[in-house]
Each structure stands twice: as C-alpha cells, then as structure tokens.
Structure 1
Amino acid sequence: MNIVAPTPDFSGVEFATSADGMPVARIDDLVLAMVTSHSGFAFLASAVAVRRPLAELTRADFFGHDGRVANEAEFRMRVAETAGHKHDLAKLNRVQTRMSASTPWGGSQMAVVYAEGVVAHSTAGHGGFHLSSDRNAKVHPLLRKDTLWYEEDCEWAIVAISFPDLFTDCERSMAEKTIRNTWPDVWEKIHGCSLAEGESWAKDRRAFDQRHASDYVVTSAIFSDKNPGMTEVVAVVAGDRGAGDRKAWDNERRFLVPSDEYARRGRFGFVIDPDRHAEYHGPSSFLGWRSRGIGS
C-alpha cells in the first residue's frame, strides 16, 4: 500500500518572512515559525496573540518546540494541518470540565467530554480516554481492550479511529499513522493489505532487527579525542540485545567509524561493516571503558 498525502488547504492562512529571515505563518491568533537551531536543523515554534505584522517578528517572539521540519515545504504542510485542525475543532462539541474520577494514572485533574461515553482525562503525570461499556463494544475486536481505559501516548488512536466523527481530520490522520506505526500486523488484518517499507515504524524496525540479527549494531558513540575525524563506537550483535545485559556486555566491541559516515546513520542504528570498520583496541574516549582499564 502507498500512503498518499492530501493536498494542503491554505485558506485563512497568511504567510510571510520574519524580520530575521524565518518563514512564518498566521492562523487567527496563532503564529507559527520555522526556526533553525544552532545545530542546523529546523523545527516548528509558535506564538499566541501576537498582533504585529509578520514581517516585524523575530525569533524572540516564538517559544516551544513542536517537532522538526525538513524544509519550508514541510513547514507549509504543517501550517495547513494546523489550520485545518483549528477549523475542524471549532465544529466539534467538546466540553472541558472537572470531574472526580480515579484513572489508571491517578486522580483526574481535568476532563474533556468528547461525547456521551467518551471522556479524556488528564492527571498529574499521564492521561487517556475512558469509554463506556457500550462505546468500548464498538471498538474493533483486534484493537479493543479488556479495560475501558486507553492511554494517551498510542492507545488514544484506537479511540479516534473507532469514533472518527469526534475527531478532526488532523487527529484522524495522526491516529491512522499511530496505528500503522504501533500495531502494523493488526492494521494489515483490518485493511486486508500489506504495509510497504517506510509506512510503519514498528514493521520496519522488526525487519531491520531480523536483517541484522548477526551484525554488530552501535549502542553508543562519542567523537574520538584520540583519532581526529573519527567517531569511537561501542557495538553489540543485534540479536543479543534482547538476551540480557550480561550477554550483551560480554559481546561489546569497539570500532572507529569516520564521523561524517556515522552522521548519516539510519533511524534504527548504525551497522558495522567488518570489511571497512576495523575493531579498535586503542585508548578510549569513553569514561566507562577507561574505568574498565581500557585506554587512558
């Protein structure tokens, strides 16, 4: 299956360039900016109730870190998603209130009633949805829980795809992505098709682990202060990572990898190529390895 991105809708959005050169956009009383960090990556920041012209704004007007963006095109896509979310949210009849409730994460401090039988609770440390028995019975059997509680990190997505009319387009899109990334096997059974590479984090990670089960994969890395331009890494056989700390410790090896090559590592880790990355036995830049009497 190939996931097709929707065409962005920029209605009601004002775009401009800030006084210090940042792409910025205004959606009602919310202003978003694409901020470039000192490390060179860009991320989304926001400002609320800033009335000045966009061209007069600077980095000092913005706060927060709402995730990285690869380029200005992705920034504009995020702006469109936010605008659509705000527009859809205004049509929903969610009610924020306080209610006495004991949740799996502690006492409820704030609740949002999405509809009868669908309530989101926030606590001091976590939160999630509570469904009535009738609502829970409508959840797909492959995703339904025995309890009536669905935590806010991943399981909220089960609630969203079960009752899509209670959520915005943006939330439904995020929920579908969360299901694919977290429970790919269930997603495939429900939809009757297979997810391609790149469409599910969990499925891709499983494939990576299977493909490199016998390879050394880096677990920690540090710029080498003994070998300029190189990164000293510690690696273990990937298949041993779930076999217990003792076995992984016994199989740890150190290697030197060119720093520019290590910087291009994949999202699941850097795989050692024994034909190009020689095992390293010299003085270590890792304090932990020095404490083992290796390097000084």
Structure 2
Amino acid sequence: MNPAPSVPVTYGRTADGDLAALVDDTAYAAIPGPRGLRIANAWRLSKPMSQWRRDDFHGAIAVVADAVGFHDHIAELVQHREELLRFERKRGDGKLSTPWGQSQSSEIYADGVVFHSTASHGGFKLDRARNARMPAALRVAGGWYEEDAEWAKVATGFPDLFTAYERRHAEKTLRDYYPNCWEAIHDRFLAPGESVENDRRLFGEKHRHDWVVVSAIRSREKPGMTDCIARLGGRRDQGHERRFRVPSDEYVAERFGFVIDEARHLEV
C-alpha cells in the first residue's frame, strides 16, 4: 500500500471551555459528565472553534476518563481516516433486495464484499466464494451479515479490508455479542467481565431461582421507596410476576437487573 494521506487536525477549547478538536470537517468536543468526558461530534461547523457551544454537538461516540484519553481517541480517529483514504472502497449501484428491504446505496469493500444500506437497516453481503472463505465459526448461511453486530464477523474474517479502528471495534463487538465465536477464533474461554453476552448468561445461571426486577418506579404511596415488578431470573417470557417495595437509596438498576432479597424486601 502507498503511504496514507495526511488528515488535518487541530486542537483547542470551545466557548464553554471544553477540550475540542477539528478533524478534517468533523468537530469534536469533550463534555464533562458523571462518568468522565463525553466525546460529542458535529459536522461542518462554520464558526471558529473558540465560538463552539455544547448545543452545537450531539450524541456520544465515546466516553473517556480525561484529556489524555480525549487526545488518544482523536489520534485513533485521525489514523482511521488516513487508512480509509488508502483503501479502495467504491460506491456500488445499490439496487438489490436485502433481508432488510430494498438497498438504497452500497459500498464495495472488495470483490464479493459489499455493504448495503436500506431505509431502515443494512449489512454486508458476501458472495458465495467469499462466504466459503469465512472461518466456519463466523460464517452465516446465505452470506448476509447485519450491521449492528454481525459486521464484526466480516471484519474478523477479512481484517485486511478494515482499518485498525474498525478491527478494534469488531473484536469488542464479537466478544460482547458472539462470545462462542470469539472463543472459537481465539482458542480460549472468556473470563467474567470480558463479554456482555457471556456475563448476561452467567448472571442468568446464578440467579435463575431469584426474583429479578424487570420494571421499577418511585412509589407514590411510600416516599423514599421504589415499587418493583420482578420475575424469576428476570426472564420477561416467564409469566408469573411478584411486586416488591425496595428503599430507593438501595435500589440501583444493575446491568442485568436488581436482585430481590426476599428476607428484607417487602412484597406488596
């Protein structure tokens, strides 16, 4: 490959005093929040960086701990853009029926590897030859890989078609949502805390006989209490449910649900 073209980047502060960066035509601001700095973005801001306001930005592409984390993230985005300029991705005709509707646009990553976008969703289509080259643990019959999570299988199967930034996110996506695939590819088991879906399974196994909250609201009848609806194992397909009242300062919506302590929490 030829050396990657340079992508312009500048750093500074916004009118609100937030850390900021301009990468090509995309603006980024590090907005303080409860968990660190929320990196928000905006496109083609016409005013100088010193006049940018928080209202100009939207979303959260990442949350970092501090200024060092912000600069590291921006540097990774710059590298990503430079690599994209080096790739030979091309726009396709986009006229194809997909599992998510009629394709409105498409991008050709390589022969037999095409990303399709529809009005509501999208994903990759691998032709028969490319799909046959996918590792068996990752292969999807028919060659359609949806954009939310299955795209990570394509990036893992054909890493040379993706940037370092995309590969890093693909590895995490595969680990979080397809832990069995990740374990097969890497030939080791995931430890607790390494995968969202794996941790969800472990939580479900541990608490399958416990009552786990599926819905909660501050109590109108008892100030300082939270009214909870719980089901066995937190399974929403499990018909029977019970209602409990939990002190609000104790109730914290954990990642996979709050576990009721029948010895202390009042059933109502």
Query: TM-score band, normalised by the shorter chain?
Result: 0.7 to 0.9
Q: Does 1:45 align with 2:37?
A: no
Pick from 12, 25, 28 the counterpart of residue 29 of structure 1: 25
Q: Does 1:66 align with 2:60?
A: yes
1:17 corresponds, among 13, 34, 40, to: 13
Q: Where does structure 1 lack aligned partners over 5 or more consecutive residues?
A: 1-10, 282-296
Structure 1 position 222, deviation (Å): 0.5
Do residues 122 (structure 1) and 134 (structure 2) align? no
Structure 2 length as normaliser, TM-score?
0.87
- Shift, 1:213, TM fit: 0.7
Compared CA separation, residues 206 and 111, structure 1 to 2 (3 A): same
State which of 252, 256, 263 in structure 2 corresponds to 1:268.
256
1:204 aligns with 2:193: no
Give the counterpart letter for 2:119 in structure 1. A
CA contact (8 A) 1:23 1:72 kept: no
Instruction: Give the one of 204, 213, 217 matched to 1:218.
Output: 213
The 1:271/1:41 distance shift into structure 2, 3 A limit, reads farther
User: 1:219: how far off?
Assistant: 0.5
Matched residue type, 2:17? G
Partner of 2:155: 160
Q: Which moved more, 1:73-82 or 1:173-182?
A: 73-82
Q: Give the CA deviation at 1:214.
A: 0.8
Cα RMSD over matched residues?
Answer: 2.4
Structure 2 SS opposite 1:90: helix
Q: 1:270 is aligned with what amino acid? A: F
User: What secondary structure, in the 3-state scheme, does the structure 1 residue paired with 2:221 have?
Assistant: coil
Q: Deviations over 1:182-225 (max 9, x none)?
A: 22122212211121111111110000000011111001000112
The answer for unaligned runs of 5 or more in structure 2 is 1-6
Q: Tell me the secondary structure at the aligned position of residue 137 of structure 2.
A: coil
Change (3 A) 1:200 1:89: same
Residues 41, 68 of structure 1: 8 Å contact kept: no
Letter of the 2:66 partner, please give it: E
Query: 2:21 corresponds to which letter in structure 1?
Result: A
How far the C-alpha of 1:70 sits from its partner, in A, is: 5.5
Q: Give the distance between the partners of 1:72 and 1:26, measured in 2 at CA.
A: 18
Q: Deviations over 1:151-204 (max 9, x none)?
A: 111111111111111111111111111111122122212211121111111110
Task: Show the counterpart of 1:291.
Answer: none
1:253 to 242, 252, 267: 242
Point out the structure with the larger strand share.
Answer: 2
* Letter paired with 1:14: T
Matches within 5 A, 1:267-286: 267-279=255-267, 281=268
Matched residue of 1:226: which SS?
A: coil
The equivalent residue for 1:190 is 185
The sequence identity of aligned pairs, in percent, is 46
Alignment equivalent of 2:74, drawn from 55, 72, 79: 79
Shift of 1:234: 0.9
C-alpha displacement of 1:26: 1.9
1:75 CA drift (Å):
4.1
Aligned to 2:4: none
- Over 3 Å counting, the alpha-carbon distance change for 1:138 and 1:40 in structure 2 is closer
